[in-house]
Chains A and B, each alone.
Chain A
Amino acid sequence: MCHDERVTEGNAEPLESYVRAALALQGYHFDEAQIAEITVQFSRLEAIAQTVMQWPLPFASEAAPVFRP
């Protein structure tokens, strides 16, 4: 299924708390309407992240970033 519109059930409150804390940590200053908009966007990311976090991987599987010394 496509998870773009799904919000993980029962996760709204910690999610909003996380967004507020992370915004402060990163140095952003937004009004309540902007925070609400950002929270909606983050909830979409959080929903789609579930597919990534639940994908079975061997413990030692490597990541794939680019770095060529």
Chain B
Amino acid sequence: MAPAVRLGSGAGVSSVIGSAADIVRQIGTGARSAASVLAETKDLIRARNPDLNCFTATTFERAEREAAAIDALQAQGKPLPPLAGVPYAVKNLFDIEGMVTLAGAKVNASNAPASMDATIVARMQRAGAVLVGALNMEELAYGFTTENPHYGTTRNPHDRARGAGGSSGGSAAAVGAGMLPISLGSDTSGSIRVPASLCGVFGLKPTYGRLPRTGTFPFVNSFDHVGPFGAGVSDLALSYDAMQGPDPQDPACAQRAIEPVGTVLTLPPGIRIGILGGWFHEWAGPAARRAVQLAATALNASEWTEIKGAEAARAAAYIITGAEGGALHRPRLIERYGEFGPASRARLVAGSLIPASWVVQAQRVRQSVYREALELFERYDLLIAAAAPAVAPLVGQETMEINGRSIPAKAGLGVLTQPISCIGLPVCTVPLWPGSNERPPEKRQPEQSLPLGVQLIGAPWREDLCLGAARALEQAGVAKFRLPLAYGNTA
């Protein structure tokens, strides 16, 4: 295992590695080799990672082998797999053969190395992708800031004084900084959608049970999802299709056939889109409301609706998360309390004390709100809500002020995502720039140059519509990846 990268400057590296779709095409025509793409990726990582702290380890030796295998196929004129030569990295809770799966925790550092790859890492390899490393995250995935007490804070590529969000902060920031076209993360309560929102990248949290979690370090089995981050919608779709398929080793994984979305994503005519009000409007700050409005206008959506059980769903998620997370770690909390970070250990112990009646009631609430959402999907095909209540908070900021009310940043950043993951709906989060159309760059307040994501929420198993709406917003220029100013962007 190689240590985290800590060297280099930005001199002489290309500004962005390019999209996965472009890389596949270029390798297919012989315009680039997988080895050259990997070399550029390594340069970008060496140049940008020291400021951001996205990677906890690199896997360059493995990457060299995977890239060489792709170049050999190309040289022999054989068909290339769908992600041929595309570099990617994974949140460090995914098993990588031969490496210790940290899940952001010191308490895991002495565990045995993984004996095989996580299922979806193996599927990415089969699809030709090239694994370059493991990425930083919140300790044990319990929080939304990626201020990790053991492995450091991952910083926001658009403003290094700010956090990347979490818990998949390294995954979002590595794509946001242009180091990678694709990364993988997990989402229990918003851990793909919140950092995607704060780092200005696209993120897909599929339907609960769509992608197998086999070989990932668990947090809350009732809610754990896995999914991709990307710099564009096509890249999300390419990786999502490569990872689909049943896996009997994961009891929550739906034994459904693969339903590929392809890369020609369109929205069917006459699609009905509702804007979520109520809880989702109440907890969206001004920039978040502006982002929702921009997305709604571009999608011709004007009708407001509500999930009345949203607050109850969030509360239910909170209780189930506390109970399952606490129960999972209880034996080690008894023996090795001091090895857990100060922000998580007392919360985990408290969770392990939750009475069974609260958990059972929370699971009943979950089912009830799920049914309410299904009724809503008789009237709408898609729902829109902000993905975070505000732009990225400063590193170390303990509370956030949302519409005159103060909430703790570490938990409160998920206030708009948690009700949705509680009921397992698929969501594509798209990056908008709600402050940047109002003033030129030199006249903007710092927070006006920051991204903020919007959730495109579908009915169960309708990832195709979520991605189709994301593509529509991307084509309209409303949702887009922007290379950070520090790396040469001047937009």
Contact = CB atoms under 8 A, between A and B. Distances in A.
- Are both chains from one complex? yes
Interface of A: 1-5, 18-19, 22-23, 26-30, 34, 37-42, 44-45, 48-49, 51-53, 55, 57, 61-68
A42 to B, nearest CB: 4
Contacts of B354: 45, 49
A49 to B, nearest CB: 5
B350 A38 contact: yes
A37 B408 CA distance: 16
Contacts of A57: 361, 364-365, 368
Contact of B407 (A4, A19, A34, A66): A4
A4 B361 CA distance: 19
B316 interface: yes
30 contacts: A1-B311, A2-B405, A4-B407, A4-B412, A5-B406, A19-B350, A22-B353, A26-B352, A34-B337, A34-B346, A40-B346, A41-B349, A45-B318, A45-B319, A45-B351, A51-B315, A52-B316, A52-B319, A53-B357, A55-B312, A57-B361, A57-B364, A61-B367, A61-B368, A63-B363, A63-B367, A64-B367, A65-B363, A66-B209, A68-B251
Given A42-B353, A68-B251, A49 B358 contact: yes
Contacts of A26: 330, 334, 352-353
Contact of A4 (B209, B330, B362, B408): B408
Interface string B354-392: 100110111111111010000000000000000000000
A30 B365 CA distance: 34
Interface of B: 209, 221-222, 251-252, 283, 309, 311-312, 315-316, 318-319, 322, 330, 333-334, 337, 346-347, 349-354, 357-358, 360-368, 370, 405-408, 411-412, 415
Contacts of B311: 1-2, 51
B36 to A, nearest CB: 45
B376 to A, nearest CB: 17
Given A3-B315, A19-B353, 15 more contacts: A5-B407, A23-B349, A23-B353, A37-B346, A38-B346, A41-B351, A45-B350, A48-B319, A49-B358, A51-B315, A53-B361, A55-B368, A64-B222, A64-B364, A66-B252
A19 B112 CA distance: 34
A27 B332 CA distance: 11
B219 to A, nearest CB: 15
Contacts of A61: 364, 367-368
Contacts of A4: 407-408, 411-412
A48 B362 CA distance: 11
Contacts of A18: 353
Given A23-B353, A42-B353, A52 B346 contact: no
Given A48-B315, A52-B312, A61-B368, A66 B353 contact: no
Contacts of B346: 34, 37-38, 40-41
A52 B412 CA distance: 18
Contacts of A29: 334
Tell me which of A3, A62, A63, A64 has the highest count of chain B C-beta atoms within 10 A of its own C-beta: A64
A12 to B, nearest CB: 15
A41 B340 CA distance: 15
Contacts of A2: 283, 311, 405, 407, 412, 415
Nearest to A56: B368
Tell me which of A1, A5, A41 has the highest count of chain B C-beta atoms within 10 A of its own C-beta: A41
Contacts of B319: 45, 48-49, 52
A36 to B, nearest CB: 9
Contacts of B353: 18-19, 22-23, 26, 38, 42
A53 B407 contact: no
Tell me which of B209, B309, B316, B405 has the highest count of chain A C-beta atoms within 10 A of its own C-beta: B316
Nearest to A51: B315
Contacts of A52: 312, 315-316, 319, 358, 361-362, 365
Contacts of B318: 45, 48
Nearest to B333: A28
B366 A64 contact: yes
Contacts of B333: 28
A53 B359 CA distance: 10
A18 B361 CA distance: 19
A4 B311 CA distance: 12
A28 to B, nearest CB: 6
Contacts of A30: 337, 349
Contacts of A22: 353
Given A2-B407, A45-B322, A57-B368, A66 B222 contact: yes
A51 B350 contact: no
Contacts of A53: 357-358, 361
A51 B360 CA distance: 14
A29 B354 CA distance: 17
B222 A65 contact: yes
A28 B352 CA distance: 11
A21 to B, nearest CB: 9
Contacts of B209: 66
Tell me which of B209, B353, B406, B412 has the highest count of chain A C-beta atoms within 10 A of its own C-beta: B353
